[in-house]
Amino acid sequence: MASFKITGGRRLSGELVPQGAKNEALQILCAVLLTKEPVTIHNIPNIRDVNQLIDLLGDMGVWVTKIGEGSYRFVASDVNLDYLDTPAYKSKAAALRGSVMLLGPMLARYKKGRIPRPGGDKIGRRRLDTHFLGFEKLGATFHYDGDFYRVEGDQLKGAYMLLDEASVTGTANVLMAAVMAEGTTTIYNAACEPYLQQLSKMLNRMGAKISGVGSNMLIIEGVSELHGTDHTMLPDMIEIGSFIGLAAMTQSEVTIKNCRIPELGIIPDVFKRLGIQMEFRGDDIHIPSQELYQIETFLDGGMMTVADSPWPGFTPDLLSIVLVTAIQASGTVLIHQKMFESRLFFVDKLIEMGAQIILCDPHRATVVGLGRHMQLRGIRMSSPDIRAGVSLLIAALSANGTSIIDNIEQIDRGYQHIDTRLNAIGAEIVRL
């Protein structure tokens, strides 16, 4: 198990280029199974979760060729379905939550698919019902034998479905199954995150017929086959938000390059409500060094609340970052994490560092900003999940003294060479 040793209290200065979007990559990579023709993907982040999925595709028989930094060509012309019965497949697929999105493409093209119960962050209950209920609406059968989830469907047929939740991965999985089903499929209460929009646009370039892209109702006219394409992924909005919070907490002057600002939704606005100044320079976001940032109140004077909700609401992946950023603000904010009941449990480490946080219940935490009157102190801690790990890293970079963060494999799952990139603009992070 690796660790970061962080010397805090240093102001950073320079430019950061966000990596390709992790959550988009997991969907896009699974979609290469939908065609036997070459699919070239650019701006793929070099992170553990994505690399594990690329390795898994290679083990399944997909030809994988690296053609440049962050660019790969995939040819799924001869997929070995027998590999799905091996212990190696069970072990590798179980270690990666994104492997569940292999099911939709396999069902569409090969009429069957199987995955072990997938892993990923331990941030609360993350049910998969939406995926399998959608497959069943298309005419597939579902089985779970305690080890594997299995779906089979010799003749998928389009159907109307109202998803029980606007699940991002669930929508992506059902969408990929529906593009080659006979007839018309309507997915209502579909997730409409930019990642889903990117997947839909890519599938349409491959020959799919998807309308309603960007809305919560997708209409899919089934086609008999899909073709190859080129696709370039968006910059990672979660990393962009993380860098905004990092700059504010460490009183740093940072420019985040090539952000695709129109795709960020309300993310910049939420950080502005914490009092963080930022300037849009073309497609770059410039955050000046701020001695103090003041949390806004609501118009009636009520305490600010930041809560997650499906897109175009605020993404749950940035609530941990907002929480840690509020520690040194002036004012008070309630963080309401609605979707995952274990995601706020890392705040005990922040409290140990000197933060003033009340954990109200598993879903809500009140942060009373220190307003720079007191600095956090460095401690030893462990990263419980990707986003909490980076939140602890931000706290450590702003703290007095030295901090150790263990289990940084969690951070590496979602952030590409984060130590190297931050050290280049003045941080002092040593990988142990």
- Cβ-count burial of 253 within 10 angstroms (0-12 exposed, 13-18 middle, 19+ buried)? middle
Instruction: Determine whether the annotation assigns residue 23 to a binding site.
Output: yes
Distance CA 274, CA 306 (A): 10
Residue 339: both structure tokens together: 């979707």
**Whole-angstrom distance, CA of residue 335 vs CA of residue 321:** 11
Rounded-to-5 percentages of helix, strand, coil across the chain? 35, 25, 40
Q: Which amino acid is at 287?
A: I
* Catalytic residue, candidates 59, 78, 82, 121: 121
In 5-102, where does DSSP find H-type helix?
22-31, 48-59, 87-94
Residue appearing with tokens 């491959």: 206
Residue 211 main-chain phi, psi, to 5 deg? -120, 165
Which strand (E) or helix (H) includes residue 178?
helix 168-178
Name which of 342, 324, 323, 389 is nearest 3 in CA terms. 389
For the chain, what is the total number of helices (H) and then of strands (E)? 14, 23
**CB contact at 8 A, 329 and 293:** yes
Helix H or strand E segment including 232: strand 229-232
283 among annotated binding-site residues? no
- Give, for 279, the enclosing helix (H) or strand (E): strand 279-281
Q: Structure tokens of 42?
A: 């650019």
Amino acid at 118: P
121 is catalytic: yes
Report whether the peptide linkage leading into residue 312 is cis, meaning its omega lies within 30 degrees of zero: yes
Rounded Cα distance between 83 and 319, Å, is 39
Chain centre to alpha carbon of residue 133: 23
Comparing CA positions, the residue from 171, 179, 103, 108 lying closest to residue 142 is 103
Main-chain phi, psi angles of 27, to 5 degrees: -75, -50
Nearest to 331 by CA among 361, 359, 292: 292
Q: What is the DSSP code (8-state) at residue 219?
A: E
Structure tokens at 87: 């212990």
Asked whether the beta carbons of 321 and 292 are under 8 A apart, the reply is no
317 marked as part of a ligand binding site: yes
Binding residues for UDP-N-acetyl-alpha-D-glucosamine: 97, 317, 339
Binding residues for phosphoenolpyruvate: 22-23
Residues marked as catalytic? 121
Binding residues: 22-23, 97, 317, 339
